[in-house]
């Protein structure tokens, strides 16, 4: 019998996604939120919502006792953990069930069996699931870990035993890197999961990351819902996912699916889960099991026609799977990309701020946008910076790629740094269309290529922005003539017996351009060093129209605190007017030293006053948006002052040391 009221112990896009399915099934929904999320979309969508604490997760979304008390007080019968936070916390599951509530997920024993990567690998070895060579032992002192890494043979991968989402993972290629990498991985594991234990594995060269979705009920039935390729990653976090995984033989698919079912049955698993494998040279190796719903589950839903959240609820309520493996079939191809508030040009540094524009198309059945944001929302420093998941379906992979580009090109996002253009360049890259090129180093090998890509319309975008700022300057002064050709119409820069020129210094995509612009009625002449020409410019309902003697282009335009943002054919230009006086004033007031790149918490200060450091040496480690960030010396110098200590909260731009 289906429950009637469900509490979602999560936030953001996944909370919104669960609410949609629950409400379709006639189940009332209860949201919980931190004070930072009081106006969040998931709070507005739910039938009821209750505040459970302050923004830090340890004071709100990680407080299992508060969540259970809220569920009991409001009459909810079940709790859905989604992913992250408490979703794989066996103690929380036990507490939920002890309170007489239903946990929408596997049993506490199954989570414990797979919760530690070392223990999970031992169980999989007993079950006959292939493993990568590695160390999964209990001894965790640095000497043992270094010894085991060298015995395995470099390169190796250090992984937080309780980890996930790329946190607590470090690639090590040289023995000299091991001590710092171990300390860093242990620290991030402790901060993210409350567990500093590590395992060490042989690092496979150019593997693929392929995972298998399983569904298992409480009556012994288990099926696999095909596979997904998640190879395209940055910093061990997935960026692009697709289903089914391209370029796999039918035999390999079947073997992985059967191994996934075997793995689930070995621990008496029920509900939705994912078995992750590394694939290399037509062989696969068990990596880990995620005992929860995955971020990328929509691509499986689109090719299978099944609502995984619905089946999570049905299984938790005791229903039996009403289909067998032989009756399941995959239809078409689906691709998902993760739109993040981050800066790809600066090591994917997360961004915070107001999302001034957030417009996206959702006009077709083959399009799906999962998000927890609307225009005007604040992206805070406390949570993962994912803005949305953009998912499309096609009859084949070629069509899915084309549809995804079409969808991405129509999106408008502004107000803070984001990776939309980066995603567009990935999907449009000719190598992405070649399944044989997919590997976990795909993005690493092409990162600079994606960043340095120049659109053929760069100059047109620059001139359109220059014309806009020129017009703004004109309108800022009193107009004394209705004749558009009169010199009195153009008070800025005009003088008797001189050229009616205006010099503009523009910053476009972090490159400075000095232009000389002159208006001749509705047309402009321009000069940039040795180049010059003519064009016309106009504005029409959110568009900048640029036209010269060879082309006419329409740029989508949004305005935010950073200036003007143009987009056209999958490329985005961020443009602002540089005002020399203000720039000089700002520089004179700036404080020398190393600053916090964003709001966060200091986890370690690795230097002392008077110490001489060398270029590349780590100075300070900070945690923000669930990730560890290292502040590194940009040159050799001596430490004069240190302004922060461990556990200090710092603001974006705050001086840390000099």
Q: Which helix (H) or strand (E) holds 152?
A: helix 142-152
pLDDT above 70 for 481: no
Distance CA 401, CA 497 (A): 58
In sequence order, the 6+-apart residues with CB closer than 8 A to the CB of 545 are: 536, 537, 538, 539, 552, 553, 554, 555
Mean pLDDT in residue range 162-184: 87
- Spatial distance between the Cα atoms of 161 and 119, rounded to a whole number of angstroms: 9
Cβ-Cβ contacts under 8 Å for 177 (sequence gap 6 or more): none
Give the confidence band of 285 by pLDDT, cuts at 50, 70, 90. very high
Which pLDDT score, from 0 to 100, does residue 361 have? 83
Cα separations (Å) of 288 from 209, 278, 438, 501?
11, 10, 20, 65
- Tell me what percent of the residues of the chain surpass a pLDDT of 70: 93
Predicted confidence band of residue 124 (pLDDT cuts 50, 70, 90): confident
Q: Is 147 exposed, middle or buried, given 0-12, 13-18 or 19+ CB atoms closer than 10 A?
A: middle
Could you read off the pLDDT of 345-384 as tens digits, one per residue? 878 888 888 898 898 988 899 999 999 999 999 998 889 8
Pairing relation of β-strands 222-234 and 237-243? antiparallel
Residue 41: band (very low, low, confident or very high) from pLDDT cuts 50, 70, 90? very high
Mapping DSSP onto H, E and C, the string for 502-531 reads EEEEEEECCEEEEEEEEEECCEEEEEECCE
- The answer to whether residue 433 scores a pLDDT higher than 70 is yes
Domains and CATH numbers, the chain: 5-104 (3.40.50.20), 133-202 (3.30.1490.20), 208-452 (3.30.470.20), 458-579 (3.30.700.30), 591-657 (2.40.50.100)
Mean pLDDT, all residues of the chain? 89
Q: Is 374 helix (H, G, I), strand (E, B) or coil?
A: coil
pLDDT of residue 484: 53
Report the C-alpha gap between 409 and 556 in whole angstroms.
Answer: 10
Q: Residue 485: its pLDDT value, please?
A: 56
The set of catalytic residues is: 292
71/30 Cα distance (integer angstroms): 8
Beta carbons within 10 angstroms of residue 434's beta carbon: 11
477 pLDDT band, cuts 50/70/90, is: low
Other CB atoms within a 10 A radius of the CB of residue 295 amount to 23
Q: Give tens-digit pLDDT for 298-313.
A: 999 999 999 999 999 9
pLDDT recorded at residue 281: 85
Half-sphere exposure of 43 (CA within 13 A, CB side): 16
Mean predicted confidence (pLDDT) in 535-540: 92
pTM over 0.85: no
Backbone angles phi, psi at 252, to 5 degrees: -65, -40
In the Cβ-directed half-sphere of 553, how many Cα atoms lie within 13 Å?
A: 24
Residue 645: pLDDT above 80?
yes
Cβ partners under 8 Å of residue 430, min gap 6: none
Rounded Cα gap, residues 593 and 589, in angstroms: 13
Would you place residue 99 in the very low, low, confident or very high pLDDT band (cuts 50, 70, 90)?
A: very high
- Average pLDDT (183-199) is 86
Task: Report pLDDT for 587.
Answer: 44
Q: How far is CA 271 from the centre of its chain?
A: 26
Half-sphere exposure for 34 (CA within 13 Å, toward CB): 17
Checking DSSP bridges between strand 511-520 and strand 502-508, what pairing results, if any? antiparallel
């Amino acid at each position: 019998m289906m429950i009637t009221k469900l509490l979602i112990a999560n936030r953001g896009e996944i909370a919104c996604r669960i609410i949609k399915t629950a409400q379709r099934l006639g189940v009332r929904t209860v949201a919980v939120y931190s004070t930072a999320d009081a106006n969040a979309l998931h709070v507005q969508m739910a039938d009821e919502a209750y505040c459970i604490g302050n923004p830090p997760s340890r004071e709100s979304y990680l407080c299992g006792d508060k969540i259970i008390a809220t569920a009991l007080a409001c009459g909810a019968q079940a709790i859905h953990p989604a992913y992250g936070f408490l979703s794989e916390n066996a103690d929380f599951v036990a507490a939920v069930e002890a309170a007489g509530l239903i946990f929408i997920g596997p049993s506490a024993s199954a989570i414990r069996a797979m919760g530690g990567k070392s223990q999970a690998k031992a169980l999989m070895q007993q079950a006959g699931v292939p493993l990568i060579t590695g160390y999964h032992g209990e001894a965790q002192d640095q000497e043992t870990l270094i010894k085991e890494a060298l015995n395995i043979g470099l390169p190796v991968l250090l992984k937080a035993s309780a980890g996930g989402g790329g946190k607590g993972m470090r690639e090590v290629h040289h023995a000299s890197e091991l001590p710092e990498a171990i300390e860093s991985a242990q620290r991030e594991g402790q901060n993210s999961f409350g567990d500093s234990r590590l395992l060490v594995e042989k690092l496979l060269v150019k593997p693929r990351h392929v995972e298998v979705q399983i569904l298992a009920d409480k009556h012994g039935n288990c099926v696999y819902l095909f596979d997904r390729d998640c190879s395209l990653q940055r910093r061990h976090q997935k960026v692009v996912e697709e289903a089914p995984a391209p370029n796999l033989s039918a035999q390999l698919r079947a073997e992985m699916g059967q191994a996934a079912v075997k793995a689930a049955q070995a621990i008496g698993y029920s509900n939705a889960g994912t078995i992750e494998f590394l694939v290399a040279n037509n062989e696969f190796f068990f990596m880990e099991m995620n005992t929860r719903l995955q971020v990328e589950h929509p691509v499986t839903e689109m090719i299978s026609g099944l609502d995984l959240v619905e089946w999570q609820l049905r299984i938790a309520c005791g229903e039996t799977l009403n289909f067998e493996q032989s009756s399941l079939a995959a239809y078409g191809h689906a691709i998902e990309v993760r739109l993040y508030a981050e800066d790809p040009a600066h090591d994917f540094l997360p961004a915070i701020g107001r999302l001034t524009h957030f417009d996206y198309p959702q006009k077709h059945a083959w399009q799906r946008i999962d998000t927890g944001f609307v225009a005007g929302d604040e992206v805070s420093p406390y949570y993962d910076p994912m803005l949305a998941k953009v998912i499309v379906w096609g009859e084949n992979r070629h069509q899915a790629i084309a549809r995804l580009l079409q969808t991405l090109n129509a999106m408008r996002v502004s107000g803070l740094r984001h990776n939309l253009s980066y995603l567009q360049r990935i999907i449009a890259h000719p190598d992405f269309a070649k399944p044989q090129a997919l590997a976990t180093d795909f993005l690493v090998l092409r990162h600079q290529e994606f960043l340095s890509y120049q659109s053929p319309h760069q100059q047109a975008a620059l001139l359109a922005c220059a014309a806009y700022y020129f017009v703004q300057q004109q309108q800022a002064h009193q107009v004394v003539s209705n004749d558009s050709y009169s010199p009195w119409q153009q008070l800025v820069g005009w003088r008797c017996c001189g050229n009616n020129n205006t010099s503009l210094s523009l910053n476009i995509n972090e490159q400075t351009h000095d232009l000389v612009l002159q208006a001749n009625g509705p047309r402009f002449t321009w000069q940039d060093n040795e180049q010059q020409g003519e064009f016309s410019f106009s504005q029409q309902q959110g568009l900048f129209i640029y036209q010269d003697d060879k082309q006419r282009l329409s740029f989508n335009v949004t305005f935010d605190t950073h200036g003007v943002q143009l987009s056209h054919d999958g490329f985005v230009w961020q443009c602002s007017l540089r005002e020399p006086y203000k720039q000089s004033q700002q520089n004179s007031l700036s404080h020398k030293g190393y600053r916090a790149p964003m709001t966060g918490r200091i986890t370690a200060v690795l230097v002392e006053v008077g110490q001489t450091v060398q270029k590349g040496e780590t100075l300070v480690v900070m945690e923000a948006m669930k990730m560890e960030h290292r502040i590194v010396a940009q040159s050799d110098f001596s430490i004069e002052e240190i302004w922060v200590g461990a556990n200090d909260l710092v603001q974006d731009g705050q001086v840390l040391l000099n």
